[in-house]
Structure 1
Amino acid sequence: MGLALLVFAIVAVGSLLQRVSGMGLGLVAGSILSIVMGPIEGILVVNLLAAINATMTTVIVRKSVDWKKFWLIAPVLVFGAIPGAWLIRVVSGPTLQVVVGTLLLGALATVTFGVQRIPHAQGRAPAVIAGIIAGFMNTLAGIAGPAITVYAQVARWPQVPFAATLQPIFIVSGLVSLTVKVASGAGTVASVTPWVWIFGILGMIAGIFIGARASQKIPRSTARKISLSVATLGGVMVLLRGLVGLF
C-alpha cells in the first residue's frame, strides 16, 4: 500500500504539471519510479500511465492539436522503441540505471540550456528524427517530451499547439514502448500490484482536475521549471544508484 500511495502522489503531481505545461508525468514519475520499482518495471508503469494520462488530456485540448505534425512524429516512434527494447535486454540493471540517468540529465540540459542555441530548421526531417529519438528515450526512461521540445524550438513551434500535440504523441509513445518491450521479452508488468494501477489512475484524475484550474493561475514557465527541477533531482538519484551498483 505504501508503494501505491507513493504512485498516487507522484502521478498527481506529474499530471498536474503536464496539464499546465504540456509535459511532466514522464519527467517526474520516470526518475522516481525507476528507483523505487527498478529501471525496467518502473518505466513500464510510467509508459502505460503516461498513455492513459495523455488520453484524458487529449480530450480536453483536442481543438489545439496540430494533427499534421502529429502524423509526422507519431508513426516513427517505433523505430526508436525497438533498439531501446533491445538495449534493455542486453545490459544489467545498474548499467541501465546509469544509461537512464545519463539520458534524462542530458535531455534536461538540452531543453534547459541548449534549445536557444539550436538553429532554425524546416521540413520533415527534423520532425522524423525527433520522433525516433523520442521513441528510444521513452522506451528506456519514460521521457518522450524532451526530444520533441528540442524539435519545437528548432521549428519555432508555438507553445499552445505544441503542448496540445504532445498529448496524442504521448499516447502513441507510451503504448508503442510498452508493446515493444513486452513483445520482445524486455519487460513485463505482470507482477505489478493492482493497487499501483488503481492509485495511479486516481492520482491522474486528481492531478488533471487540479491542473485544469491551476492552469488559469500558474504560469507555464513556472510549472515547467518545477517539472525540470524534480526530474533533475530524480535523474541524479538514478545515475548515482546505478554507479553504486556498478562499483
Structure 2
Amino acid sequence: MTVGLPVALAIIGLVVLAAALQRLTGIGFAMMMSPFLVVMIGPHGGVMLTNLLSFLAPALMIPLVWKDIEWRKLAVIGPAAVLVMPAFGWLAAASPQGPLYIAVASLVILGLSLSLIISRISTDVDGFATRALTGIGAGGGVILAGVGGPAMTVYAVLSRWDVRAFTATLQPLWVLLSVGGFLTKLTFSGNEIPGFPWWFWAGSLAAILVGMTFGTMVRTWISDVAARRTVIVLAFLGAGLSLLTGIRETMGI
C-alpha cells in the first residue's frame, strides 16, 4: 500500500504542530499524531508510524534539556515500560483494536480524573512502586494506542513533578519507548507501515526541526503553571481522541 500525496503532506503538517507541542510541554507528539494516523493509514500502521516518528523529536531535544533530566526516576519507569511491551504486543495482535482503544482511553480518563482529585491532597504520591506502575501504564499505552503521555501525566500530577524536570526526563524515555514500541509491533503485527516516498521522510525531519524551533521561541512566554495545565489538557484530549477512534473502529464507521 502506497500513501497518496495529500495524506503524506497532511502528516508532515501534523508533525510540525506535534513537534512544537513536544518542545513546549515534553509530551504531545504521539498524542496528536496517533489518533489521526490511525484514521489515515489504519490501526497497526498508524501506531507503528507514530512510534517511528516519535523517536526523532525527543532524540533531537535531549541535548537541549540534558542538565534537567532526572535519571533516577527514568531508571525505574523506563525498564518497567520496556519489560511489559511484549505482553501488550501479543494482546494488541490478538485482540480487536476498537475495544482495546476504548478500554485504554477509559482507563486513562479515569486515572487523570482521580489524579486531579488526589492532587488536592497535600501528600505527594511517589516511590518505586508508583514509578513502576507508571512505566507499565506508559509501555502499555505506547503499544496499544501509540501514546504513553497520559500515564506520565498522571504520575506528574500525583508526584507534583517539577515541569522543567518532567519535560526533560520524558525525552530519553520517549526515545526508549519509541524504539521498544516499534520493535514490539514489528514482531507481533508485522510491518504495516504503508510505502512513503523519500521526500516524506526528509520532509518529516524538516517539519520536526521547524516545530521545535517554533516551540523554543514560544516557550519563554509560557509560565510553569500554564505548561502544567497544557499537559493535563493534552492528556485528556489524547484520551478522548483514542476513545473516539475505538468507538469508530468498533462500529465500523
Return the TM-score normalized by structure 1: 0.88
Give the match's secondary structure for 2:160.
coil
Once the two structures are overlaid, the 10-residue window that deviates more, 102-111 or 60-69, is 102-111
For residues 71 and 92 of structure 2, what CA distance do their matches in structure 1 show? 32
CA contact (8 A) 1:14 1:24 kept: yes
**Cα shift at 1:228:** 4.3
Equivalent position amino acid for 1:96 in 2: Q
Q: How does 1:180-191 map to 2 (within 5 A)?
A: 180-182=184-186, 184-189=187-192, 191=194
Equivalent position amino acid for 1:245 in 2: G
The reply on whether 1:203 has 2:204 as its aligned counterpart is: no
Alignment length (residue pairs):
241
For residues 232 and 9 of structure 2, what CA distance do their matches in structure 1 show? 25
CA shift digits 1:86-114 (9 cap, x unpaired): 012212xxx30332244235424533x32
CA RMSD of aligned residues (A): 2.2
For residues 130 and 205 of structure 2, what CA distance do their matches in structure 1 show? 34
Show the counterpart of 2:246. Answer: 239
Equivalent position amino acid for 1:78 in 2: V
Show the counterpart of 2:69. Answer: 65
Structure 1 residue ranges without an equivalent (≥5): none
Q: How does 1:57-136 map to 2 (within 5 A)?
A: 57-91=61-95, 95-111=96-112, 113-118=113-118, 120-136=124-140
Once the two structures are overlaid, the 10-residue window that deviates more, 26-35 or 186-195, is 186-195
**Cα shift at 1:197:** 2.7
Show the counterpart of 1:217. Answer: 221
Deviation >4 Å, runs of 4+? none
Q: 2:29 aligns with which of 11, 18, 25?
A: 25
Show the counterpart of 1:139. Answer: 143
The reply on whether 1:53 has 2:57 as its aligned counterpart is: yes
Equivalent position amino acid for 2:195 in 1: V
CA shift digits 1:125-177 (9 cap, x unpaired): 11111112211110111111111221222323211101110111111011011
Q: 1:227 aligns with which of 210, 214, 234?
A: 234
**Cα shift at 1:60:** 1.1
CA contact (8 A) 1:80 1:133 kept: no
**Cα shift at 1:54:** 0.9
Q: Percent identity at matched positions?
A: 24
Once the two structures are overlaid, the 10-residue window that deviates more, 120-129 or 190-199, is 190-199
Return the TM-score normalized by structure 2: 0.86
For residues 73 and 225 of structure 1, what CA distance do their matches in structure 2 show? 19
**Structure 1 residues 107 and 199 mapped into 2: Cα distance closer, same or farther (>3 Å)?**
farther
**Cα shift at 1:68:** 1.2
